[in-house]
């Protein structure tokens, strides 16, 4: 980025976007303030025209210039990454107001090791999309962005990583060789890789919405853990009638949830015993990657019949579908009143879950229920978190940033440092080569900076879920709990049982035909609106064969056949790459 462009970006960020920080540096040499492209202009002038002529029609002239401008500055291996200090500007979501990104240990240590200084532009999450769109629409771009970027929309303003990976990203290349979803999920509509994964693809996030059942109530009423929908109904009836909280009042809520589909609190996997699942795309894949559109399947109807029966029996919270998130979060705060709730953690809904920690020992996961024919099914989330790290065409030294990203994605230690916090505070390395989580006490939190809880510490001392260092699922295998952890990890134990029976929805990624995705979004908007009303009405007011036939006709009117075919076309495209 030239100096006049920098001034333009600073003015835009301060006046229009109101961002903290400024776009200084842009791949410049730290000691002289002269950009590497400018310092190499004499040596590269003879080849500049040839480079541009040979660049493909899909690659911008800016990309050709950046490859030439950084010639000789970046080392292909070893540390530091660059022969002389260099500065880049990276936009990131603001994870904490307590500590600036530049003050974090991971940033300081990485700069010492690599020779690369980062100027961080921290953008509040509430205005992220708007401000990122402004940067692209005005072409006032930092060197890189670490967060949510619509690659399918802006790919022409982003670096294509394809020609850099083998030389400058050996660690990432090796990681991709171990996975079926990479790099397919990262390929832009032009067939090139224009983004990298970031954040947290934690094993614990493989399934988000779990049913958490009150084990104290099961014990008190001498009930076995239910294994089928029929057994669950009998348990919920006992919760309703036998005063399990012992207060002499009929204030028990046997079963509560909030949404049909969505993160953590939805009944999307409750359809499993009848051979279907629900999710935001309303489809799942068979073993041969054939798309199944769940709302037209008979199992969808059979599950709604079952849920309506529970509702009529007073076993489902009367407030489902009408609660705000705040109301749902506080549902159990009035006392020991909830028999089963759907959430990410057993300690959600404001319940007393034992010792106050998530996944404690009062609420435990309900096993996958078995349907009439023994069917057990759940939906597994795509591992790719969805957000990304992109290098823009404003970057004059892309090789250096590619190597920087590769370096901080080279080990579990880097991932821990960038995404969890400092060594010997939140985690430590053991002599056998494994890593142990540290259960932070109040004294630990005070010593680390006066934090109130581990989440606050993580957000301030690392980049948390927005880290450019991807937390890979494979890292879970080398992590062990702190011996002081009071209870087992019930979530992980449940996932170990559930995931072998899981199916996938649409794979994460971009269609090579942008019109495919655009049309799917348009159709899904009306489908979403209809299905939310249909499912809520079916559970509360009932569903029969006549209503089901009318429902199938409505699906036809909403062009669900076209939507299903578009999903299949995308799946075929994805797996053909």
Q: What is the mean pLDDT of residues 248-271?
A: 96
Q: Is the pLDDT of residue 469 over 70?
A: yes
Strands 363-365, 210-214: pairing kind? antiparallel
**2-11 pLDDT, tens digit each:** 433 443 453 3
Handedness of CA 356, 362, 368, 371 (dihedral sign): negative
Write out the two tokens for 526: 């009306």
Extended strands (E) in 245-403: 253-256, 283-285, 291-293, 338-343, 363-365, 378-380, 388-391
Using 50, 70 and 90 to split pLDDT, how confident is the model at 356? low
Q: Does residue 372 sit in helix, strand or coil?
A: coil
pTM of the shown model: 0.82
Q: What is the pLDDT of residue 375?
A: 97
Q: Nearest CA to 81 among 117, 46, 45? A: 117
**304-325 pLDDT, tens digit each:** 999 999 999 999 999 999 999 9
Q: What is the pLDDT of residue 165?
A: 96
Supply the mean pLDDT for the chain: 89
> How far is the C-alpha of 479 from the C-alpha of 434, rounded, in Å?
6
- Provide CB contacts within 8 A for 556, sequence distance 6+: none
Q: What is the mean pLDDT of residues 116-134?
A: 96
Handedness of CA 561, 562, 564, 568 (dihedral sign): positive
| 422 HSE (CA, 13 A, CB side) | 16
Q: Is the pLDDT of residue 15 over 90?
A: no
Q: Is the pLDDT of residue 358 over 90?
A: no
Q: How many CB atoms lie within 10 A of CB 207?
A: 22
Write out the two tokens for 534: 């249909």
**368-410 pLDDT, tens digit each:** 999 999 999 999 999 988 899 999 999 999 999 999 999 999 9
Geometric angle at alpha carbon 62, from 57 and 63, rounded to 5°:
70
Q: What is the pLDDT of residue 61?
A: 36
Q: How many CB atoms lie within 10 A of CB 4?
A: 8
Q: What is the pLDDT of residue 171?
A: 97
Q: Does residue 248 sit in helix, strand or coil?
A: coil
Write out the two tokens for 446: 């005070």
Q: Which helix (H) or strand (E) holds 503?
A: strand 502-504
């Amino acid at each position: 980025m030239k100096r006049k462009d920098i001034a333009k970006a600073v003015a835009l960020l301060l006046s229009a976007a109101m961002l903290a920080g400024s776009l200084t540096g842009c791949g410049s040499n730290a000691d002289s303030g002269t950009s590497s492209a400018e310092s190499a202009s004499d040596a590269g002038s003879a080849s500049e025209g040839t480079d541009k002529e040979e660049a493909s029609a899909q690659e911008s002239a800016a990309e050709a210039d950046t490859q030439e401008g950084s010639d000789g500055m970046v080392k292909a291996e070893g540390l530091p990454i660059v022969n002389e200090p260099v500065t880049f500007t990276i936009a990131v979501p603001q994870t904490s107001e307590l500590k600036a990104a530049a003050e974090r240990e991971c940033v300081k240590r990485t700069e010492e090791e690599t020779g690369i200084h980062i100027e961080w532009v921290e953008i509040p999450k509430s205005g992220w999309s708007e401000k990122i769109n402004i940067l692209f629409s005005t072409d006032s771009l930092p060197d890189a962005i670490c967060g949510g970027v619509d690659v399918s929309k802006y790919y022409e303003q982003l670096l294509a990583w394809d020609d850099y990976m083998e030389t400058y990203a050996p660690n990432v290349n090796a990681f991709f060789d171990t996975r079926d979803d990479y790099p397919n999920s990262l390929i832009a509509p032009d067939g090139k890789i224009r983004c990298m994964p970031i954040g947290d693809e934690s094993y614990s996030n493989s399934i988000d919405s779990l049913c958490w059942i009150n084990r104290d109530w099961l014990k008190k009423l001498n009930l076995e853990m239910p294994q089928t929908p029929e057994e669950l109904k009998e348990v919920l009836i006992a919760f309703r009638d036998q005063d399990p909280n012992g207060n002499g009042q009929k204030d028990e809520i046997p079963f509560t949830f909030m949404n049909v589909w969505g993160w953590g609190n939805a009944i999307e996997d409750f359809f499993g015993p009848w051979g279907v699942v629900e999710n935001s795309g309303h489809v799942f894949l068979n073993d041969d990657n054939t798309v199944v559109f769940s709302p037209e399947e008979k199992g969808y109807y059979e599950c709604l019949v079952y849920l309506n029966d529970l509702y009529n029996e007073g076993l489902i919270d009367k407030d489902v579908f009408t609660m705000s998130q705040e109301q749902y979060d506080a549902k159990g705060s009035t006392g020991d009143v909830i028999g089963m709730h759907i959430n990410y953690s057993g300690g959600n809904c404001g319940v007393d879950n034992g010792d106050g920690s998530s996944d404690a020992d009062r609420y435990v996961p309900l096993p996958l229920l078995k349907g009439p024919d023994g069917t057990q099914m759940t939906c597994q989330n795509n591992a790719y978190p969805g957000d990304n790290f992109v290098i823009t065409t404003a970057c004059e030294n892309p090789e250096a940033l590619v190597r920087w990203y590769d370096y901080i994605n080279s080990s579990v230690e880097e991932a821990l440092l960038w995404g969890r916090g400092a060594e010997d505070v939140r985690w430590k390395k053991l002599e056998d080569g494994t890593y142990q989580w540290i259960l932070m006490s109040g004294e630990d939190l005070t010593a680390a900076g006066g934090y109130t809880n581990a989440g606050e510490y993580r957000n301030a001392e690392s980049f948390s879920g927005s880290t450019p260092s991807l937390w890979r699922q494979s890292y879970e295998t080398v992590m062990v709990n702190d011996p002081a952890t009071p209870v087992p990890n019930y979530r992980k134990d449940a996932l170990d049982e559930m995931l072998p029976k899981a199916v996938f929805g649409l794979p994460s990624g971009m269609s090579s035909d942008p019109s495919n995705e655009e049309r799917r979004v348009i159709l899904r908007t009306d489908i979403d609106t209809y299905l939310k009303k249909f499912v809520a009405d079916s559970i509360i007011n009932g569903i029969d064969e006549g209503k089901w036939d009318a429902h199938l006709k409505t699906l036809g009117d909403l062009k669900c056949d076209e939507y299903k075919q578009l999903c299949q076309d995308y799946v075929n495209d994805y797996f053909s790459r």
